[in-house]
Amino acid sequence: MAEFKINTPIVTDQPAIEVTVTPPGTPNVAGTQLAVGRHRFRLVVADDSANLSDPDEIEVIVRDSVKPTAVLEGPRIVDFGKSFELSGRRSSDAGGGSVVSFTWTLVG
């Protein structure tokens, strides 16, 4: 496994390399933590006469496919005619993103 840094080439004698994407909050021991989004990788190969190929590139999209967790808090008993607060403050997104909207519905 290699630690990729932007615009820093990594030279190997193997035809494949593993890119490790660690979950947010995990200590980054081996590999790299790529942010959610588009990442472009480039490959140039050399032959045994030191001739270099033209570069080939690929775009890899790292996506956040982990569902957020809704945590709804509120009072269990409320006096008639009194207003109260519902809170979703403890809701979170373990996929590395952030909660950006809350949809409230009175069900039955």
pLDDT digits (tens, 9 = 90+) for 30-50: 445 677 789 999 999 999 999
Q: Could you tell me what percent of the chain has a pLDDT over 90?
A: 64
Claim to verify: residue 57 and residue 69 sit in the same structural domain: no
pTM: 0.66
Same-domain check for residues 59 and 71 = no
pLDDT of residue 33: 67
Please, what's the b/e burial string for 51-76 (b: 16 or more CB within 10 A of its CB; e: otherwise)?
Answer: eeeeeeeeeeeeeeeeeeeeeeeeee
Residues 4 and 41 in one domain: yes
Closest CA to 85 of 67, 98, 104, 60: 104
Indicate whether 69 and 40 sit together in one domain: no
Total domain count for the chain? 2
